[in-house]
Amino acid sequence: MTAVRPDVPGFQGSLFDQGSDIGPGPLGGVRRTELGDGAWVDHLPGWFHGADALFEELVAGVPWQAEERTMYENVVAVPRLLAYYREGVPLPHPALDEARDALGAHYAAELGEPFATAGLCLYRDGRDSVAWHGDRTGRSATRDTLVAILALGDPRDLVFRPRGGGPVALRLPSGHGDLLVMGGSCQRTWEHAVPKSARAVGPRVSVQFRPRGVR
Ligand SMILES: O=C(O)CCC(=O)C(=O)O
Ligand SMILES: [Fe+2]
């Protein structure tokens, strides 16, 4: 194996999760927030059981990549570790394949196609983050779509604002097996971010499920 064990502090799972199976729960309890402009966010805290065990397995077993990008002519480290699973590739844990398929079935009428790819992010501590953006590479630049996120590990806020600026309009703490689904025009008309945190926060993993041709 060439996977690198990321340098993250030890993680204490909740006692409740120990020994339980790992997998998605029912989706009936999802609550929708309309953001406006045809954008919405669905939220289901505690969707996954065995979430903390899954978190540990992903931190240890995923071939995490550190990426760099050029910003104002300087090469800077992207402040989170990444892994990408394209369509047809088995996900790093069978519970994630199960999750993708359960989400595809639940949202079939709205999405009209299956969830196909999975992007994984590891936020090692409060200094890791993702800046304001929409997932607008590919078809999501011009079309409504869905992006579903399973959040594991220590909760971090996922925040939303209208595209182009303004104060935070919605703040959803997400970790320990929570589900969050962005839908409608959300990627085009709104922006989301995981801000840096000055608090002492432990590592968090997010798994983003997207349909084909959406990044
Ligand atoms: O980690 C998250 O919850 C959000 C990740 C995200 O927005 C992205 O990778 O596009
Ligand atoms: Fe995103």
Query: How many whole angstroms separate alpha carbon 199 and alpha carbon 40?
Result: 29
Query: The pTM is what?
Result: 0.92
User: What is the residue with the minimal CA distance to atom 3 of ligand 1?
Assistant: 206
| Residue 110 DSSP SS3 | helix
Nearest to 202 by CA among 9, 5, 7: 9
Q: Does ligand 1 come within 6 angstroms of the Cβ of 134?
A: no
The pairing of beta strand 190-194 with beta strand 170-174: unpaired
* Secondary structure (H, E, C), 187-214: HHHEEEEECCCCCCCCCEEEEEEEECCE
Q: Identify the weakest region by mean pLDDT among 124-128, 137-141, 203-207.
A: 137-141
Give which of 127, 129, 139, 122 is closest to 210, Cα–Cα: 139
Q: In the numeric block, which tokens belong to residue 215?
A: 């990044």
Determine the atom of ligand 1 nearest the C-alpha atom of 119. 9
| ipTM, 2 dp | 0.99
* Residue 119 beta carbon below 6 angstroms from any ligand 1 atom: yes
71 pLDDT band, cuts 50/70/90, is confident
> What are the φ and ψ backbone dihedral angles of 40, each rounded to 5 degrees?
-145, 160
Where along the chain do its domains lie?
A: 30-211
190 CB contacts (<8 Å, ≥6 apart)?
A: 35, 37, 39, 134, 160, 161, 162, 163, 182
Domain 30-211: give its CATH architecture.
Answer: Sandwich (2.60)
pLDDT digits (tens, 9 = 90+) for 151-175: 999 999 999 999 999 999 999 999 9
Distance 78 CA to ligand 2 centre (A): 14
- CB–CB of 33/40 below 8 Å? yes
Atom of ligand 1 nearest to the CA of 156: 3
To test the ligand 1 pocket, which listed residue (55, 65, 121, 128) has its Cβ within 8 A of the most ligand atoms? 121
Which amino acid is residue 76, in one-letter code? V
| Ligand lying nearest the CA atom of residue 205 | 1
Give, using CA atoms, the residue closest to atom 1 of ligand 1.
Answer: 206
pLDDT (mean) for 186-194: 98
Q: Is the pLDDT of residue 2 over 70?
A: no
20 CA to centre of ligand 2 in angstroms: 30
Task: Report whether residue 172 contacts ligand 1, using a CB cutoff of 6 Å.
Answer: no
Report the phi/psi class of residue 136: left, alpha or beta, with left for phi > 0 and alpha for psi in -120 to 50: alpha
Residue 1 has pLDDT above 50, yes or no: no
How many Cβ atoms from other residues are within 10 Å of residue 89's Cβ? 10
Residues counted in the chain = 215
Mean pLDDT of 29-38: 97
Say if ligand 1 is within 6 A of residue 120 CB. Answer: no
